[in-house]
Amino acid sequence: MKRFILALWVFLMVPAWARAHFLIAVPPKGQGYGLRGQEISFRVLFGHPFEGILYDLKVPKGYVITPSGKKAPVSFTRIKIKDYASGKKRFGYRVDYLPTARGDHLLCLSSQSYLNEEEGEVWQDYMKVPFHVQVERGWRNRCGFELEIIPLTRPYGLKVGEVFRARVLLNGKPAADLELEIEKFNGFYVPEEKLPTDAYGRVNDPLITQTAVTDEKGFFVVGFPEPGWWAINVALPAGKTSYAQRTFPLVIRSGMWLYVFPAKPLAPTGFDLLKEEE
């Protein structure tokens, strides 16, 4: 009975967004755009995007898919970023890349597998970031992950009020009924007392992490209520795996980052195209 009460207490106390730890991979500037011959830099971190809580990240692997569909190598430089929730400095990485061709590129990342102690699961994360260099060419290219989100809407130039349509593929085949988490990266630490609350004064988890599922053919559609960087992440239970000489459930997760612009209309210029000339 005591074990049951303890398990129930843990279930009620663990927040709904406990799974919303993502690979954070965004450029400090450029909003997902770049120029040929001009280096672009990405920060690769791990944590809660909305709250700005960070954790140490072991060095990931990665490459860039160029507009022609070829792989280009990248290197990772370890950096320290302050986690304002704990006051500690966390290990992250910087990726610098020089586009030599115009078109749409993909930064493709994979983490080392790691144990999520809260969930009692081993996670293997994949993440991709599309970035646009001057001309529209190649945005339908793929990283080649075993589990991957494939955009059917161009993954840049998005505005608030538009929707993004995509498909999840597992080893090239549609992945049905998989749960997706959608969360905004605020870019700063949000303490608990500043988080949105519901009518009962509790943290309003549904306003922090949106949830959707893929349909029977792997398709999904999501919208974005605010401008900024947004992560879409899909999770797939994948049997068991060995970690630290113990056996745990394995979860494969794959995501992508998108930048959403404000839906700001252009101001009138004073030149009326419908006004007849005298």
**For the chain, which residues make up each domain, given as ranges?**
15-261
pLDDT of residue 10: 35
Cα-to-chain-centroid distance, residue 244: 28
| CA-angle at 48, arms to 87 and 230, nearest 5° | 135
CA–CA separation, 148 and 127 (whole Å): 9
If you search the block for the tokens 């879409």, which residue do you land on?
232
Are 168 and 147 in contact by the 8 Å Cβ rule? The answer is: yes
Mark the ranges of the chain whose per-residue pLDDT is less than 50.
1-19
pLDDT of residue 23: 96
Give the H or E element holding residue 9: helix 2-13
Nearest alpha-carbon partner for 255 in 72, 96, 46, 102: 46
The amino acid occupying position 197 is T
| C-alpha to C-alpha distances, 30 to 138, 153, 274, nearest whole angstrom | 19, 20, 37
pLDDT of residue 16: 37
* Assessment of whether the complete model's pTM goes beyond 0.75: yes
Give the H or E element holding residue 205: helix 205-208
Following CA atoms 45, 50, 52, 56 in sequence, which dihedral angle do they give, to the nearest 10 degrees? -30
pLDDT of residue 38: 97
Residues contacting 135, CB < 8 A, separation 6+? 102, 103
The helix/strand/coil state of 76 is: strand
CA–CA separation, 69 and 78 (whole Å): 28
Q: Report helix, strand and coil shares of the chain as percent, to nearest 5.
A: 10, 50, 40
Are 183 and 240 in contact by the 8 Å Cβ rule? The answer is: no
Are 106 and 236 in contact by the 8 Å Cβ rule? The answer is: no
Q: In 29-145, at which residue ranges do the beta strands (DSSP E only) sit? A: 33-34, 40-48, 53-55, 61-65, 71-73, 76-83, 88-97, 103-110, 114-116, 121-133
Are 106 and 64 in contact by the 8 Å Cβ rule? The answer is: yes
Largest CA distance in the chain: 90
CA–CA separation, 32 and 259 (whole Å): 6
Second CATH level (architecture) for the domain 15-261: Sandwich (2.60)
